Amino acid sequence: SQQGEEDPQALSIQEGENATMNCSYKTSINNLQWYRQNSGRGLVHLILIRSNEREKHSGRLRVTLDTSKKSSSLLITASRAADTASYFCATDVNGNQFYFGTGTSLTVIP
């Protein structure tokens, strides 16, 4: 089964609002990554957080990691219509394989 599970499966917000999506995983990890996938396009790497880090920022993105709860969250602040995409978390368990969840589909309404 997939290591990562995103929640919610779908999210619809107004432009300017913040979007929060969560990822839970099952086993110990080396790091966790978030990716964005626009419809019909490849995945784009957004941010990586290592297992010894608790929070990381990149522009309008904020990622947290709670290894005790085996969960991570991705916050997109001041959302824009261009943020409309699917967002996936990926867990690096052993450096050989990354396990992706089923993704959160985000729709930002202009």
- Give the residues lining the site for another protein (CB under 8 A): 2, 4, 30-31, 33, 35, 41-45, 48, 88, 90, 92, 95-103
In terms of CB distance, is 15 or 43 closer to another protein?
Answer: 43
Q: Which residues contact 79 (CB under 8 A, 6 or more apart)?
A: 13, 15, 16, 17, 18, 19, 106, 108
What is the smallest separation between the CB atom of 97 and another protein, expressed in angstroms? 5
In terms of CB distance, is 15 or 107 closer to another protein?
Answer: 107
What is the smallest separation between the CB atom of 7 and another protein, expressed in angstroms? 13
Count of alpha carbons within 13 angstroms of residue 42, beta-carbon side: 2
CA–centroid distance for 27 within its chain: 17
